Amino acid sequence: MVRLFKLQKVLSSAISALSDVISCLYSWTRFYWMVSRLPGLPLTHSYKQWEGFQSKYNALNTLVKWREKYKTFHKVYISFLPVIFAYSPELIQELLSKKQKHNDKGKVYHTLLPLLGDGLITSKGEKWFAHRRMLTPAFHSNILESFFETFKSETNTYINSLKDSELTKGYGDICPHTRRLTLKFICETAMGFSELADCKEAEAVIKSMHKLEEIATLRVIHPWLLSDSIFKMSALYKELNENKKILHNFSNTLIKRRKSILKKRLRNPYLEVHKRKEIFLDQLILQQLQGIKITDEDIRDQVNTFMFAGHNTTQLAINYCIYLFGRYKDVQEMAHNELEEIFNNSNREPTLDDLRNMEYLDRCIKEALRLYPSVPIIARKLTEDQPIGKHILPKDTDCFIIPYVTHRNPEQFPNPEVFDPDNFLPERINNRHPYSYIPFSAGPRNCIGKRFANIAEKTVLSWILREFKIESKLKQEDLKLIPSTVLIPSGGLQVKLTPRKC
């Protein structure tokens, strides 16, 4: 009987294992059979398509050509992994708009984990939902408006530094100047220490963040590096760990310092802690101290995410808008004239009401983000089969959405390469598909910081237009753009600033 019982147990285990193998083989066979029926080159020829994408300077042009050829979507194999590039607004809406559907980021996002950890950009499932709900109050309009004084103070310093810079004597790169400004925005509003942006340690941290971003991009472009086992044998892995250590040491020290300050405040019954709610890091620490389930590692990941994404995307949006003003003098003058009407030729600082009245400048910012979206690639993993026309995209496929390409669809934006703020007149918006313009993504996982960015961008750009005439050196077709985690202008953006008032 004992032997019979043991034999039954072995047979049961064997049948269970065989069932798992058959199930796995069935899923794998079904997946690749469904993919094989989709538009795009077969696996044996797909490497030819990928060759055009591997050149960092040619990747965006390749993507534009793919959209012109395939219109809606097509498949590409990264090594043996099939991915879908989605182009039509209708498919993009299906991928982004549903709360309980396709809500996880794609597999390639795991390359960003050393940089962003399990923060709001990379987390998924219940953890993402819980943290999104927890962080939403930090971006309430009242709190965002409390940042305005910081934006004004730092922008005033920024303008004075531009007056003394090489940009008033000839062409120079605007990017480093604006990068320092937006880093100060983030250090003050997210961490409560504006002086961090000026210290050498912060410079080393930013360099480490950009290096981790570069390594993440290299792993996607060279798909064999997506395998962790292969990647760990490369020289890049050692470099990744060195830069990750610099970033984490900085963040951990910062959190420890802030936590010590807040504990002292909480022990003082006469100190009104709620007056410090405008600091992003303080809100996270206070929730932890009040018993909400959030670890120091969770806080670090959210701070790293906000520091990297917040200052990078905002400075790029400002810089591309400055560049475009320098190429389109008529648009620049119309934006300046609007500001003259608002300020009546005075030198006073802007108010929040002034920002709300900058309707034409707002359209200019939106149009600059159409042409040069700060985040050039969005990825989603299909959580179930997705019908599209006569095709079905299989569950577990990674889908790439390219705002840079989506925003150049001539059916939605006539003359798509032209900087035309009138694209965002109300009547044009009403006649356009809502998912044809997605600079901040869309749906439940849209960018939580878009209003933060808008207030910052209007503050900076309005001030620049009041102080300077802008000229840009390169034509749009001569810009070399690199689609990394953000849209990087290789060689920067060369502009010349002429003071309007002597």
CB 400 within 8 A of CB 84: yes
Burial of 191 (C-beta count, 10 Å sphere; 0-12/13-18/19+): buried
Nearest to 436 by CA among 456, 420, 413, 414: 413
Give the amino acid at 69.
Answer: K
The whole-angstrom separation of Cα 205 and Cα 292 is 29
| Residue found under tokens 């793919």 | 66
> Can you tell me the distance from the alpha carbon of 280 to that of 190, in angstroms, rounded to the nearest whole number?
4
Q: Which residues contact 300 (CB under 8 A, 6 or more apart)?
A: 117, 248, 251, 252, 255
Q: How far apart are CA 428 and CA 432, in angstroms?
A: 6
| Element spanning 28, H or E | helix 2-36
Rounded-to-integer distance, Cα 165 and Cα 177, Å: 9
DSSP symbols for 388-421: ETTEEEPTT-EEEE-HHHHTT-TTTSSSTTS--G
Residue 502 among known ligand-binding residues:
no
CA angle, 156 then 160 then 163, to 5°: 140
| DSSP, residue by residue, 419-450 | --GGGGSHHHHHTS-GGG--BTB-GGGS-TTH
Q: Report which secondary-structure segment, H or E, holds 374.
A: none
How far apart are alpha carbons 368 and 230 in whole angstroms? 40
Numbered residues of the known binding site: 447
Residues tagged in the binding site annotation for heme: 447
